[in-house]
Amino acid sequence: MIQGIAANLGRFVLLLLLQVLLLDQVDLAHGWMVPYLYVLFLIMLPFELPAWAGLLIGAATGLVMDIFASTPGMHMSASVVLMFVRKHLLRLMAPRDGYEFGMHPTVPSMGLAWFATNAGVLIAVHHLWLFFVELHRFDAFFGTLLRAVLSAAFTLGLCLLAQLLTSRTAERKRA
């Protein structure tokens, strides 16, 4: 339990630092791909977490992001939407016997297909919300849609890469 909290807290700090100090400040593909990898923290929160706690954690994470990005309410609303959708999505994607103790929303625990689907849907919801709220107008609809989709694909790629890198070290530790 304590270990789980420490792992999540560590992931929170690491992913947010990576986001605000590196990913936010490099321009890849002339603004067409803006990854928000910090959502991996929300995607990897434990299954056992009650939905209300998930919503509050989502709001707090988004608020911290907003402070660094000077965008009050933007990341907060997107993260809250993500956590709300996640609650229903997890029920929809649950194994036949429900989630068992010791299962984690990771590639080694749930398999690549499950993780990619789960993360893909959540990232898409988060990014679409974020990019349209950021623009505040709909006259550039398709440009913004393309931006959001490309960025979401990039974020998903980074999430899978992070899973690959960390699951290798976890296996090595176990061996």
**Total residues contacting other proteins (rule CB under 8 A)?**
42
116 or 133: CB nearest other proteins: 133
Q: Please, which of residues 138-167 interact with other proteins by CB under 8 A?
A: 140, 143-144, 147
What are the tokens at 101?
């103790």
Contact window for other proteins (CB under 8 A) among 27-35, 89-97, 105-113, 115-123? 27-35
The verdict on 47 binding other proteins (CB under 8 A) reads no
| Distance from C-alpha of 152 to C-alpha of 125, rounded to nearest angstrom | 9
Q: Please, which of residues 80-119 interact with other proteins by CB under 8 A?
A: 80-81, 84, 87
The verdict on 20 binding other proteins (CB under 8 A) reads yes
Q: Where are the beta strands (DSSP E) in 30-157?
A: none
Burial zone of 44 (CB within 10 Å; 0-12 exposed, 13-18 middle, 19+ buried): buried
User: Quick one: how far is CA 53 from the chain centroid?
Assistant: 16
| Distance from C-alpha of 48 to C-alpha of 102, rounded to nearest angstrom | 10
Query: Which one among 14, 18, 49, 74 touches other proteins, defined by CB under 8 A?
Result: 74
Query: Which one among 14, 18, 63, 93 touches other proteins, defined by CB under 8 A?
Result: 63
135 or 160: CB nearest other proteins: 135
Contact 155, 127 (CB under 8 A): yes
For residue 101, give every residue at least 6 positions away whose Cβ sits within 8 Å of its Cβ, in sequence order, or none: 48
Q: Find the shortest distance in angstroms from Cβ 19 to other proteins.
A: 12
23 or 119: CB nearest other proteins: 23
62 or 105: CB nearest other proteins: 62
Q: What angle do CA 19, 20, 26 make, to 5 degrees?
A: 80
What are the tokens at 25?
């400040």
The amino acid that residue 42 corresponds to is L
Give the residues lining the site for other proteins (CB under 8 A).
20-21, 24-25, 27-28, 30-31, 34, 51-52, 55-56, 58-59, 62-63, 66-74, 76-77, 80-81, 84, 87, 131, 133-137, 140, 143-144, 147
